[in-house]
Amino acid sequence: MPAEKYHKKALEEQIPSKLREQLRADGLSPNRLPTYEYLETTKYHPRGLSKAIKRHYGEDVTLHDYLREHGFGIEVNETWPTSHPKTIETLNGFKESRVKRNGDSEATIETLKPALRKVLNISQDLHETDNLLSYAQYDTEQGRQQNNRQILAILDELQEDLSDGAAANYIRYFRFFYEYAAIVAKVDMNPIDTVEGEYDLNPDSNSEAVEPSDEELKSVWKKLKTLPEQDEFCDRVEHLIEIYGLEQWRIMMMALVLLGVGLGPRSGECEKMNCKKHWHLDQEPYIEFPDRKNQPGEVPIVSHDEFFKQYCCYLDSLIEDWNGRPFPSENSESGSRTATTLNNWLEALWIETGVRLPNGEYPTLQNLREKWHNEYLKVQRIREQHYEVVADERDKKDTEHIRSAYESRREKRETIRQLIRIDLEDMFPLSELPSEMKDEPDGQTTIEDF
């Protein structure tokens, strides 16, 4: 069956950018509302596009409704709808930073600007303030809670006015704005991080993820190992190194790649897991995922267990009163870096490596999980065949009784450990730990203490 041309992700991200590029190439304003006649001169035929829009957004949504929602037909004014000087300065700096450090195209910026203008307009309508920085600042617990309520109201309005995908994009830009603001202004919290758990901001989470190839993953791992030998980096990585330092960011990225491919956590699980509670690093190491309702709640660490042990010791010695999160953050309510931040880190690493997936995108946590998940499904099929044989021998009609009666949680972990065929030692060779993980100054936590 041929792939759908106008799938949801294309409608949300690719088509608006491509249309703006085409309008610009034709000497027209990138925000001009394209007519049906104009669309017929592009590769996006209006009839097929209209059908796809109705299929994905509902019968009442027209082609022009969709285009206006994505910023077409809106008169662009470079002046932000705010008179607050620091907000204007931060918005302009954020826009310039996205171009300089993230390599955002003009088409992406043309989407970012109307998103933040809409946020400003909603803020003034609901809360009578054009100071976006105020939502990230507080002096008391009461002030923090008020910020949360006001941000929830703004995001509710975005979700009501926009489709799920467009709302998710607008909220993502809103979050990125506060991540930048934390560098250049007084910021006590990222308010989007605090409330995002109330929303489903990943409308394409059920779409099929692309699995990175072994060679792609080997290239990325080699890049991580050789970063200290480089003198120059891409702008994205350079920016991250300025914030965290080369070795700290490199070690966290090694942990993220090993965790994603070797144990397959979901994006939300990377935020929720706690090394002190869920990482069992004894002679048969495994990681516990307590909130799972299906798939294994306990996944064995099949390789690099020494790295994970020393990673815990490293974080405990690096951070005073470490909270146990594998990717800790002082600025989020959960105490962890968000999945969005971790995906941004992965994208920066892939840009530095010069590798993309076959579909042209950069891998996310979901793509890393897909590598593990596909291997796990093979294990499941082997186990089911075994259960069927045992059930047949015992004249049972189904395998559920056999599964519950003959396999403990420990045996499930051991089965996965024996059957998983991802050769992580070959894919991610590590003859020695990074130097900062090996150093043991007086008082550093040992794995026995931990």
Q: Does residue 222 share a domain with residue 193?
A: no
Identify whether 206 is part of a domain. no
Identify whether 77 is part of a domain. no
Identify whether 207 is part of a domain. no
Q: Does residue 355 share a domain with residue 227?
A: yes
Q: Does residue 322 share a domain with residue 190?
A: no
Q: Does residue 388 share a domain with residue 324?
A: yes
Find the CATH number of the domain harbouring 309: 1.10.443
Half-sphere exposure in the Cβ direction for 216 (13 Å, CA):
22
What is the three-state SS of the chain? Answer: CCCCCCCHHHHHHHHHHHHHHHHHHCCCCCCCCCCHHHHCCCCCCHHHHHHHHHHHHCCCCCHHHHHHHCCCCCCCCCCCCCCCHHHHHHHHHHHHHHHHHHCCCHHHHHHHHHHHHHHHHHHHHHHCCCCHHHHHCCCCHHHHHHHHHHHHHHHHHHHHHCCHHHHHHHHHHHHHHHHHHHHHCCCCCCHHHHHHHHCCCCCCCCCCCCCCCHHHHHHHHHHHHHHHHCCCCCHHHHHHHHHHCHHHHHHHHHHHHHHHHHHCCCHHHHHHCCHHHHEECCCCCEEECCCCCCCCCEEECCCCHHHHHHHHHHHHHHCCCCCCCCCECCCCCCCECCHHHHHHHHHHHHHHHCCCCCCCCCCCHHHHHHHHHHHHHHHHHHHHHHHHHHHHHCCCCCCHHHHHHHCCHHHHHHHHHHHCCCCHHHHCCCCCCCHHHHCCCCCCCCCCCC
Q: Does residue 136 share a domain with residue 64?
A: no
| Residue where a domain terminates, one of 42, 69, 96 | 69
Residues 6+ apart with CB under 8 A from 7: 52, 207
Q: How far apart are CA 112 and CA 104, in angstroms?
A: 10
| Residue where a domain terminates, one of 198, 223, 257 | 198
Domain containing residue 331:
214-438
Identify whether 112 is part of a domain. yes
Q: Does residue 262 share a domain with residue 142?
A: no
List Cα–Cα distances, 405 to 190, 297, 387, 411, in angstroms: 48, 18, 11, 12
Q: Does residue 171 share a domain with residue 319?
A: no
Q: In which residue are the tokens 């291997």 written?
A: 375
Q: What pLDDT is attached to residue 297?
A: 79
Q: What pLDDT is attached to residue 312?
A: 95
Identify whether 360 is part of a domain. yes
Identify whether 205 is part of a domain. no
Q: In which residue are the tokens 């056999």 written?
A: 402
Q: What pLDDT is attached to residue 399?
A: 44
Q: Does residue 173 share a domain with residue 148?
A: yes
Cα–Cα–Cα angle for 92, 333, 140, nearest 5°? 80
| Residue where a domain terminates, one of 43, 69, 95 | 69
Q: How far apart are CA 285 and CA 295, in angstroms?
A: 18
Q: What pLDDT is attached to residue 205?
A: 43
pLDDT averages per 10-residue partition of the chain, 450 residues: 66 82 74 74 81 82 79 62 88 90 73 87 87 94 93 89 74 92 92 81 52 90 94 90 93 95 86 92 86 70 90 94 93 84 91 84 87 71 55 51 50 57 77 79 45
Q: Provide the token pair at 175.
A: 């979050």
Q: What pLDDT is attached to residue 402?
A: 45
Identify whether 194 is part of a domain. yes
**Among 107, 135, 98, 109, CA closest to 120:** 135
List Cα–Cα distances, 282 to 72, 242, 275, 408, 447, in angstroms: 58, 36, 13, 18, 9
* Whether pTM exceeds 0.75: no
Q: Does residue 160 share a domain with residue 58?
A: no
Q: Does residue 61 share a domain with residue 112?
A: no
Q: What pLDDT is attached to residue 44?
A: 78
Q: What pLDDT is attached to residue 277?
A: 93
Q: Does residue 270 share a domain with residue 131?
A: no
* Gyration radius from the chain CA atoms: 24
Number of domains in the chain: 3
Q: Does residue 46 share a domain with residue 162?
A: no
